[in-house]
């Protein structure tokens, strides 16, 4: 039996990406259910985290894994690489931003579990996908975020301030994010 938790980020960034979810409640539920299972194939219930990798959360993977390692040591993280909507694919990111993220993935992402292809994709797999490009303009990301923020009365810029600092130079003038 498998129990997968869909956790794409932590704290207020998680709540932004999973509208309606409450971070503290999710963590409490994870702790409650994980004690009935384990992290290996030997356990009756195998637990792991499924993370949808987007251009909103990949920048924060060092913080993400630091939290997971502290709160859920040994718990594997499996990634789902997002292709659609294309505006959220990491392939869309400008090359200078990809370089910053690539460096963070290689130098700062640490895990407390053995990463192997059979259990989860490796950091190298993630970097390979990050190195891909799609024939779309990054301005589409800002347009999508602008519509999202207006509809939900939220602020990407306030929720992801460090990443905003890295990408804001690419924002089209007509977008009011």
Residue 28 placed within a domain: yes
- What digits encode the pLDDT tens for the residues 12-26? 999 999 999 999 999
Across the range 103-126, mean pLDDT stands at: 77
pTM of the model: 0.90
Residue 57 placed within a domain: yes
Across the range 141-148, mean pLDDT stands at: 96
Supply the pLDDT for residue 36.
67
Residue 16 placed within a domain: yes
Across the range 59-86, mean pLDDT stands at: 91
Supply the pLDDT for residue 170.
96
Residue 157 placed within a domain: no
Residue 65 placed within a domain: yes
Peptide bond into 85 cis (omega under 30): yes
- As for how many domains the chain has, the answer is 1
Q: What proportion of the chain, given as a percentage, has pLDDT over 70?
A: 90
Is the pLDDT score of 151 beyond 70?
yes
Counting every residue written for the chain, the total comes to 177
Query: Where in the sequence is the domain holding 47, given as residue range(s)?
Result: 2-138
Q: Which long-range contacts (CB under 8 A, 24 or more apart) does 110-116 make?
A: 110/65, 110/66, 110/69, 111/65, 111/68, 111/69, 111/77, 112/68, 112/69, 112/73, 112/74, 113/39, 113/73, 113/74, 113/75, 113/76, 115/76
Residue of 78 and 168 predicted with greater confidence: 168
Residue 58 placed within a domain: yes
Supply the pLDDT for residue 74.
81
Element (H, E) at 82: none
Residue 160 placed within a domain: no
Helix axes 123-131, 95-108, angle to 10 degrees: 170
Supply the pLDDT for residue 112.
72
Supply the pLDDT for residue 142.
97
- What digits encode the pLDDT tens for the residues 59-71? 999 999 999 989 9
Residue 101 placed within a domain: yes
């Amino acid at each position: 039996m498998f129990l997968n938790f869909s956790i794409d980020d932590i704290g207020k960034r998680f709540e932004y990406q999973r509208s309606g979810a409450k971070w503290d409640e999710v963590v409490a539920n994870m702790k409650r259910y994980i004690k009935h299972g384990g992290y290996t194939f030997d356990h009756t219930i195998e637990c792991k985290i499924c993370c949808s990798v987007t251009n909103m959360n990949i920048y924060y993977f060092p913080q993400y894994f630091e939290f997971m390692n502290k709160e859920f040591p040994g718990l594997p993280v499996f990634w789902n690489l997002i292709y659609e909507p294309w505006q959220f694919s990491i392939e869309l990111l400008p090359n200078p931003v990809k370089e910053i993220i690539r460096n963070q993935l290689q130098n700062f992402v640490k895990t407390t579990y053995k990463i192997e292809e059979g259990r989860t994709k490796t950091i190298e797999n993630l970097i390979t996908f990050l190195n891909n490009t799609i024939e779309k303009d990054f301005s589409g990301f800002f347009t999508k975020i602008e519509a999202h923020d207006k509809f939900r009365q939220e602020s990407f810029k306030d929720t992801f301030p460090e990443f905003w600092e890295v990408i804001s130079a690419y924002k089209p003038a007509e977008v009011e994010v």
